[in-house]
Amino acid sequence: GVDAVGAVAAALHAEGVQAEVRLAGSGSAELIEQIAREAPRAADGTPQVRFLGTLGGRELRQEMLAADVFLFPTRYNEGFPRVLYEAMTLGTPIVAPRSDLFDWILHDGANALLCEAEIDAYVDATRAILTDATLASRLSAGGRETMKRFFDALPARSHAAQVASRFEDEALTQSRVAA
């Protein structure tokens, strides 16, 4: 699904929606080169897609806090990836495909925007968050509240609760700026 991120960035750029895409994680060199070639460019020629490599801990939290939207265009049945609860805990609005694997925690319009796993649908959902501050704020608050309820129900010693605690501490010390 990472290749979809570049296509979404190009479509938004073509519409005049200015957004810098920041990709964290690892990927094949060929895929990274393809996305870099297809990436939209700002007026000064700067690519609007940046590859950050593998991030952990504080760096990942800082990127999530700075993000206006977290696009998760997965094509795999990967359960409920940790990155989704990290984004929700930090209040980063999520765009993700509709999936039976996520429907127990991701609720369209309440704590995420869910759509078909198609470029046009990802573009529409991402644009909605980037251009509607009220929507972005509602999804941000909904994600945090969902994670608070979820983690409050876990034993304090569980790995998930420990990760959430670290992310919540970071989120409390940062202020989110509505788009």
Most confident of 16-20, 37-41, 58-62, 129-133: 129-133
pTM: 0.80
**Phi then psi for 50, rounded to 5 degrees?**
-115, 135
d(CA 129, CA 134): 9
Tokens for 137, please give them: 């704020």
What does the pLDDT look like over 57-113, one tens digit per residue?
A: 889 889 989 999 999 988 776 667 888 989 999 999 999 999 888 888 999 999 999
User: Are the beta carbons of 70 and 93 closer than 8 angstroms?
Assistant: yes
Q: DSSP 3-state assignment of 155?
A: coil
Q: DSSP 3-state assignment of 166?
A: helix
Q: What average pLDDT does range 150-179 have in this prediction? A: 59
d(CA 156, CA 167): 14
